[in-house]
Amino acid sequence: MTVTINSIRAAAARLKNVAIMTPLISNTFLDEKLKARVFIKPECLQHIGAFKFRGAYNRLSQLSNEDRELGVVAFSSGNHAQGIALAAKLLNIRATIVMPSDAPKIKLEGTQRLGASVREYQRATESREEIAGEIARTTGATLVPAFDDYEIMAGQGTVGLEIVDQLAEQSLLPDVVLTPCGGGGLLAGTSTAVKSIIPKATVYGVEQENFDDHYLSKQAGKRVKVSGQAKTMCDALMATTPGEMTWSINCQNVDDYLVVTEDEIAMAVAYAFRYLKLVVEPGGSAALAALLSNKLNIKGKTVAIVLSGGNIDNATLIECLEKYPSSA
């Protein structure tokens, strides 16, 4: 089993009138700055403020009645947690989420507000995988991974499908597509959709500098683990190893990986707020950060980027805006 354009189209049918078909927007100021046609897919405007709802609903909507009765369990720093919580609420399924105690408050509160039970854990001393696994064993709940699941990836792939379809409505094809990359689920789904329809398009994943496991894995030709000890604003990109399933797809479909610094991320958050009028969380701004810091020569090209989430604490947003009072 894997992710195919057919499984992504099937996910799109399940998500129709449930998920938000986020717009594909452009900004004249950004186009002039980068000397390219840049189209932005703002998944920060999706339900729960992130693309994660797509995969969560696609996965949960296919559970049997028996499995729905037993509930679901997941572990996440926030966006997958909220995606599962909302999908479970809509489908009348009980959900338990294992979340780090230092997760952004906006994500913790959002998960609880959607009706999920939250089991907090300490990153330094406890294993979220072990906790979630024990809950699944003792309750019979279905464990739903954040990214290493083909139906999760197919749901996320609807982002790429929509990008291609929305550009086609303008008689355009993307030359380049960039998405943030944590565990690789969004990238796996999006790259599958884009490459299936437009094989010549170039697809990049973008990582934070201390969580560049996909970049290192590509260099090594095999999955590489990073320490995961470094501090970062990008809680959404803190996966330390590419998923086994996601890597099986991304090592085939993704042309390359770009790495951005914490400062470049902060600048992108400020830029999005000030000039695009979008609230984007640090991890969600990685693709924009790559363009603004000239990681690629995109002059004259048609480029699509995903802003994958907008769940940012007030303090972090203020910090980015103060650090980059003018990021033009």
**HEC string of the chain?**
CCCCHHHHHHHHHHHCCCCCCCCCECCHHHHHHHCCEEEEEEHHHCHHHECHHHHHHHHHCCCCHHHHHHCEEEECCCHHHHHHHHHHHHHCCCEEEEEECCCCHHHHHHHHHCCCEEEEECCCCCCHHHHHHHHHHHHCCEECCCCCCHHHHHHHHHHHHHHHHHHHCCCCCCCEEEEECCCCHHHHHHHHHHHHHCCCCEEEEEEEHHHCHHHHHHHHCCCCCCCCCCCCCCHHHCCCCCCHHHHHHHHHHCCEEEEECHHHHHHHHHHHHHHHCCCCCCHHHHHHHHHHCCCCCCCCCEEEEEECECCCCHHHHHHHHHHCCCCC
Residue tagged 């909507």 (tokens) = 61
Domain-wise residue ranges, the chain = 5-50+149-323, 53-143
Q: What is the pLDDT of residues 124-133, one digit of tens each?
A: 888 888 999 9
Q: What is the pLDDT of residues 180-228, one digit of tens each?
A: 999 999 999 999 999 999 999 999 999 999 999 999 999 999 999 999 8
Residues 142 and 267: beta-carbon distance below 8 Å: no
User: Which pLDDT does position 2 carry in this prediction?
Assistant: 93
53-143: CATH, from 3.40.50.720, 3.30.420.40, 3.40.50.920, 3.40.50.1100: 3.40.50.1100
User: Which pLDDT does position 328 carry in this prediction?
Assistant: 61
pLDDT at 327 exceeding the cut of 70: no
User: Which pLDDT does position 61 carry in this prediction?
Assistant: 98
Domains 5-50+149-323 and 53-143 share a fold: yes
Q: What is the pLDDT of residues 40-70, one digit of tens each?
A: 999 999 999 999 999 999 999 999 999 999 9
Fold classified for 5-50+149-323: Rossmann fold (3.40.50)
Which amino acid belongs to residue 280? Answer: V
User: Which pLDDT does position 242 carry in this prediction?
Assistant: 96
Q: What is the pLDDT of residues 84-117, one digit of tens each?
A: 999 999 999 999 999 988 888 888 888 999 999 9
What are the two backbone dihedrals, phi and then psi, of residue 201, each rounded to the nearest 5 degrees? Answer: -65, 145
